[in-house]
Amino acid sequence: MRSFLQAVPSLNRRSFLRVGTAAAGGLLAALFFDRPANAQEAAPPPPPKNYPPDAFVHVRPDGQIVITVNRVELGQGIQTALPMVLADEMDADWSRVVAEIAPAGEVYKDPILGIQIVGGSSSIPNSFQQYRELGAKMRAMLVAAAADRWHVTADQCRAENSVVYGPGTRSASYAELSTEAAGKAVPEKVRLKDPSQFKIIGQRVRRLDGKAKCDGSQKFGMDVDLPGMKIALVARPPVFGGRVRALDDKDSRSIAGVVDVFEIPLAHGTGVAVVADRFWPAKQARDRLKIDWDLSGIEHADSAELRGRYKKLARTAGLVAISRGDPAAMDRIPAERRVIAEFDFPYLAHTPMEPLNVTVRFDGDRAEAWTTTQMPTFEQLAVAGILGVKPDQVTFHVGFGGGAFGRRGSLDEHVIREAAVIAKRFPRAPVKLIWTREDDVRGGYYRPLFAHRVEIGLGKDGMPLAWKHVVVGQSFLIGSKFEPLAVKNGVDPLLVEGAANAGYSIPNFQVWEHHPKVSVPVLWWRSVGNSHNSFVVETLIDELAARARIDPIAYRLKLLDADAKKQRAVLALLQEKAGWRGSLPPSHAAGIACTEYYGTAVACAVDVSIENNRPRIHRATMAIHCGIAVNPLTLENQCQGGIGFGLTQLMAKGAITLKGGRVEQRNFDGYTPPYMVDAPVTADVHIVPSTDAPTGAGEAPVPAISPAVVNALSRLTGRRYRSLPLTTI
Amino acid sequence: MTTYQLTVNGERKEVAVDPGTPLLWVLREELKLTGTKYGCGIGACGACTVHLGGIATRSCLVPVSLIGDRAIVTIEGIAGDAAGRAVQEAWVDKDVVQCGYCQSGQIMSAVALLKAVPRPTDADIEQSMGGNLCRCATYVRIREAIKSAAGQP
């Protein structure tokens, strides 16, 4: 299965999510450009098919090779992986390669989607071929230049490590040839290497940004520093949608360094911007604002109320997301062979380590922006619309991001819109808008709160014959620019991904969804639908395996679809590598889970005991199948990190809750993601060898861990855990 | 505004700021040492960790007026010290980082640990590193890199 962000037609059974993929690129672009704010802009031409290699590769006279990467670096390692792909086909000297993040630009759009994006783990699947071709074209042009210089044919030349060798002792470096090569025609077609010829792809290559991130020299958006720059903070309403009724800013304005205080529109209500020459005066001034908020006429969302309401909704059929076999089959299964389970999951904040920030400078007829975003061209358009300039008059710099996990891929560009509104008041002065951690934790755009109800009917052999699953939670696609692309007949596929397509062969299978409208802003959160659906499916499968007295790996292998080849492969590899499961001390238990996310399968086993009434994870073993593993070293790190990120929802304080419309948490003291002691002590990662086309790995390692841990806990305590976070064990 | 004399990475610096300004913002905005990061502002994430008088300290919690004559060492200056270099090299060698935003603070905490306990156990590591949040969850590799810097397998 692939996401609509990957837009490659899928051939397998799990095709119901394949909505509108064929027209993805054009449609997405058209949708965006049809928005009223940008109606004056004509739809852009589709991205060129024959990319100019010089937009991506520059061979410097000193032999250094600069590769521009069309994807922002957020920690996932794409600034190393795509250069590896290009350099391999180019036969470049890897030790001389440096990478740069592309600015917003037509040529840097995803070659399949037609938008510039990091999301849905689509970077490698969608740009692997593109970067191979770019590298091969560069190589062909360099070889052609050498052949011409020596009056021989290209066939008589070969390239290796940034040098072209010709007949006899002839040789010339790429640096020497670069000027002549630039004059050569860009070949339309090039032959790519057979995977057996890869020299860089598949190697454990250290990150190009590793050193700069260890000596303090790596600049992030937060580190942008420009002459005359001002710092802006915004006081936001205590309830989403609240508005400023009256403002007393006398105390704030008296603070040295404060430049201005004024009301601004927000995506949800209105707020008060405080602009100062430094962060600290801005923060103090914001703290001293006296704002009378108008909170009338808006919803005061409440987590407890929502859970209750969702739970009731989950007992009713909703929109049909998938239906296979006979919905009435359940009625023929006797009650003693039925399992009914209800689950609920809280709102979750992403809390990337680098708080959200954007710097914008408005010069009257031009503008410049510096930020870290998963969708640069959309944000460039948003800024242009607010400042009344054309998008190409906004020079848009994309910087390294201190994490994102979906949070820097908002569908309404609300952060940069706030920054643009503020910067418009200060012509020629750069303004850096900072969301403090409190703004981030309380500011919405959460993984939605969900309730699930599942009814399972079992055969006499303990295998499921009927499965009815209802998912209830907000949709962030509905009402967004992605709705027409992804939502069909009112069904948001992201709500049920991981449930509707889990890969298990159950003859009578129905999944429904409800997506009530709630005023709390919601957004994708690393591994999206699988973050809750995989928990439901994988804890229930484990429960069924225990009930049938079958080993959980064997049970899954028995139940998986015949064509779930990747899941079968990772389970088989896990069985081999997690032999420790059989020799644990009595106070420990093993738990396993297996998931597939956008074409990448993961199986995970954990060794868990209970310490201080919390799960202690002594070891995690993970097997992953993502086709060609471009950089196994980064992949290993991604898997270990995905495990840690996936544990967020098991933390005792791993929930955002609302009471009377107000978010109850403010910072990491109230919303506490995993620290070192919460993560596995060791995590060994095993990659299924493959020459299949590569699939993404940024999100796939996330969803398996929390069900695996809970499955181990259930073995230790005999209890089932169906309400998260895990406040008690 | 008050003028303060600070010793940062071995150099004397003078800044004129409000006495309540946290060291973090003095480093970042006045001295342009942006390797020290803002993550939470309440001492809960460790991204702003520096060495103050040799002790790993959350710079977001220390007002500049309370620093006195204690020497400040930041990530930009930690390579001037053998333990600092060993930790940085181990971090690069083990390919610890992902987004990297928390890693200045992680490294500063790790260096302080190794100076106090040259051969730390897992329990020592968990105790000293326990307040440094990494949202990318590079903890397994952080642990390995500390052991490697300590000369342990």
User: How do residues B126-142 score in pLDDT, each as one tens digit?
Assistant: 999 999 999 999 999 99
DSSP-derived 3-state class of residue A154: helix
Which residues 340-359 of A are in CB contact (within 8 Å) with B?
Answer: 351-355
Going A80 to A223 to A266 to A293, the CA torsion angle's sign is positive
Smallest Cβ distance to A353: which of B42, B122, B133? B133
The whole-angstrom separation of Cα A508 and Cα A530 is 21
DSSP-derived 3-state class of residue A519: coil
pLDDT digits over A489-544, tens only? 999 999 999 999 999 999 999 999 999 999 999 999 999 999 999 999 999 999 99
Token representation of residue A335: 């009650």
The whole-angstrom separation of Cα A682 and Cα A680 is 5
Task: Convert A681-691 to b/e letters by CB count within 10 Å (16 or more is b).
Answer: bbbbbbbbebe
Identify the H or E element spanning A663: strand A662-663
In this prediction, residue A105 carries a pLDDT of 87
The ranges assigned to domains in chain B are 2-76, 80-149
In this prediction, residue A183 carries a pLDDT of 87
The whole-angstrom separation of Cα B68 and Cα A441 is 34
Probe site for chain A from B139, B142, B147 (most A CB atoms < 10 A): B139
Chain A residues within 8 A of B102 when measuring between CB atoms: 353, 402
- pLDDT beyond 80 at A1: no
Q: Are strands A97-101 and A65-69 parallel, antiparallel or unpaired?
A: parallel
In this structure, how many other beta carbons lie within 10 angstroms of the beta carbon of residue A184?
17
| Sequence-distant (≥ 6) Cβ neighbours of residue A206 within 8 angstroms | A80, A633, B92, B93, B95
- Mean pLDDT (whole number) for A38-57: 57
- pLDDT beyond 70 at A21: no
The alpha-carbon gap from A643 to the nearest alpha carbon of chain B, in Å, equals 8
Q: Are strands B55-58 and B49-52 parallel, antiparallel or unpaired?
A: antiparallel
- pLDDT beyond 50 at A27: no
User: In the beta sheet, which residues pair with residue A488?
Assistant: A491
- pLDDT beyond 90 at A148: yes
- Going by the DSSP 8-state scheme, the letter that residue A160 receives in this structure is E
CATH topology of domain B2-76: Ubiquitin-like (UB roll) (3.10.20)
**Average of per-residue pLDDT values in chain A:** 92
Chain B residues within 8 A of A215 when measuring between CB atoms: 35, 75-76, 79, 88
What is the CA A450 to chain-centroid distance, rounded?
19
In this prediction, residue A20 carries a pLDDT of 27
Task: Report phi then psi at A608, rounded to 5.
Answer: -125, 140
The alpha-carbon gap from A697 to the nearest alpha carbon of chain B, in Å, equals 13
Which whole-number Å values give the CA distances from A202 to A110, A528, B134, in the listed order? 23, 28, 27
Nearest chain A residue to B26 by CA distance is A280
Token representation of residue A385: 């619309």
* End-to-end alpha carbon distance in chain B: 51
In this prediction, residue A120 carries a pLDDT of 87
- Mean pLDDT (whole number) for A552-577: 97
The whole-angstrom separation of Cα B75 and Cα A215 is 6
- Domains of chain A in start order, with CATH, are 47-197 (3.30.365.10), 221-297+356-434 (3.30.365.10), 314-348+446-717 (3.30.365.10)
Identify the H or E element spanning A281: helix A279-287
Nearest chain B residue to A255 by CA distance is B18
The whole-angstrom separation of Cα A589 and Cα A596 is 24
**Smallest Cα–Cα separation from A29: which of A146, A113, A100, A154?**
A113
CB A174 within 8 Å of CB A163: yes
pTM: 0.94
CB A655 within 8 Å of CB A671: yes
Which region, left, alpha or beta, applies to residue A514 given φ > 0 means left and ψ of -120 to 50 means alpha?
Answer: beta
| Sequence-distant (≥ 6) Cβ neighbours of residue A514 within 8 angstroms | A310, A313, A314, A316, A318, A319, A470, A471, A472, A473
- pLDDT beyond 70 at A724: yes
Highest mean pLDDT among A9-13, A43-47, A240-244, A479-483: A240-244
Contact A675 B132 (CB under 8 A): yes
Task: Convert A607-637 to b/e letters by CB count within 10 Å (16 or more is b).
Answer: bbbbeeeebbbbbbbbbbbbbbbbbebbbbb
Crossing angle of helices B139-149 and B103-116, in 10° steps, is 40
Nearest chain B residue to A230 by CA distance is B29
**Smallest Cα–Cα separation from A338: which of A502, A459, A197?**
A459
Token representation of residue A574: 């896990």
The alpha-carbon gap from A571 to the nearest alpha carbon of chain B, in Å, equals 23
The whole-angstrom separation of Cα A307 and Cα A411 is 25
Contact A403 B142 (CB under 8 A): no
The whole-angstrom separation of Cα A481 and Cα A492 is 13
> DSSP letters of A420-480?
HHHHTTSTT--EEEE--HHHHHHS--BBPPEEEEEEEEE-TTS-EEEEEEEEEE--SSTTS
Probe site for chain A from B135, B138, B146, B148 (most A CB atoms < 10 A): B135
The whole-angstrom separation of Cα A382 and Cα A386 is 6
CATH architecture of the domain covering B80-149: Orthogonal Bundle (1.10)
- pLDDT beyond 50 at A698: yes
**Smallest Cα–Cα separation from A345: which of A556, A499, A480?**
A499
Residue type, A288: R
Q: Is A216 on the interface with B (CB under 8 A)?
A: yes
Chain A residues within 8 A of B95 when measuring between CB atoms: 206-207, 210, 633-634, 637
- pLDDT beyond 90 at B153: no
Identify the H or E element spanning A418: helix A414-423
Q: Is A218 on the interface with B (CB under 8 A)?
A: yes
User: What number of CA atoms fall less than 13 Å from residue A365's CA on the CB side?
Assistant: 0
Q: Is A405 on the interface with B (CB under 8 A)?
A: yes
The whole-angstrom separation of Cα A411 and Cα A19 is 19
- pLDDT beyond 90 at A418: yes
Q: Is A637 on the interface with B (CB under 8 A)?
A: yes
The alpha-carbon gap from A99 to the nearest alpha carbon of chain B, in Å, equals 15
The whole-angstrom separation of Cα A634 and Cα A632 is 6
Token representation of residue A268: 């949800």
The whole-angstrom separation of Cα A607 and Cα A92 is 43
Chain A residues within 8 A of B17 when measuring between CB atoms: 280
The whole-angstrom separation of Cα A91 and Cα A139 is 7
Token representation of residue A453: 């109800």
Higher pLDDT, A272 or A44: A272
Contact B32 A225 (CB under 8 A): yes
Identify the H or E element spanning B4: strand B2-8
Q: Is A228 on the interface with B (CB under 8 A)?
A: no
**pLDDT category, A15, cuts 50, 70, 90?**
very low
Smallest Cβ distance to B104: which of A77, A216, A278? A216
Contact B122 A681 (CB under 8 A): yes
Q: Between A and B, how many residue pairs show a Cβ–Cβ distance under 8 A?
A: 188
In this prediction, residue A272 carries a pLDDT of 98
Residue type, A592: I
In this prediction, residue A52 carries a pLDDT of 73
- pLDDT beyond 70 at A187: yes
- pLDDT beyond 80 at A369: yes
DSSP-derived 3-state class of residue B89: helix
Residue percentage of chain A with pLDDT more than 70? 93
The whole-angstrom separation of Cα A16 and Cα A4 is 11
The whole-angstrom separation of Cα B141 and Cα B64 is 34
Q: Are strands A682-687 and A614-625 parallel, antiparallel or unpaired?
A: parallel
Task: Report phi then psi at A609, rounded to 5.
Answer: -130, 180
pLDDT digits over B64-119, tens only? 999 999 999 999 999 999 999 999 999 999 999 999 999 999 999 999 999 999 99
User: In the beta sheet, which residues pair with residue A457?
Assistant: A338, A466
Which region, left, alpha or beta, applies to residue A673 given φ > 0 means left and ψ of -120 to 50 means alpha?
Answer: beta
- pLDDT beyond 60 at A676: yes
Residue type, A648: T
Nearest chain B residue to A647 by CA distance is B137
Contact A637 B98 (CB under 8 A): yes
- pLDDT beyond 80 at A39: no
In this prediction, residue A112 carries a pLDDT of 85
Going A425 to A427 to A429 to A434, the CA torsion angle's sign is positive
Instruction: Supply angle C-alpha A484, A489, A494, rounded to 5.
Output: 70
- Mean pLDDT (whole number) for A615-634: 98
The whole-angstrom separation of Cα A318 and Cα A451 is 13
- pLDDT beyond 70 at A682: yes
The alpha-carbon gap from A622 to the nearest alpha carbon of chain B, in Å, equals 13
The whole-angstrom separation of Cα B60 and Cα B22 is 5
The whole-angstrom separation of Cα A416 and Cα A426 is 15
In this prediction, residue B28 carries a pLDDT of 98
Residue type, A108: Y
In this prediction, residue A24 carries a pLDDT of 30
The alpha-carbon gap from B11 to the nearest alpha carbon of chain A, in Å, equals 17
Which residues 683-722 of A are in CB contact (within 8 Å) with B?
Answer: 683
- Mean pLDDT (whole number) for A704-718: 98
Cis peptide leading into A725, omega within 30 of 0? Answer: yes
Contact B139 A214 (CB under 8 A): no
Which whole-number Å values give the CA distances from A396 to A25, A370, B83, in the listed order? 21, 6, 40
Token representation of residue A706: 């929390």
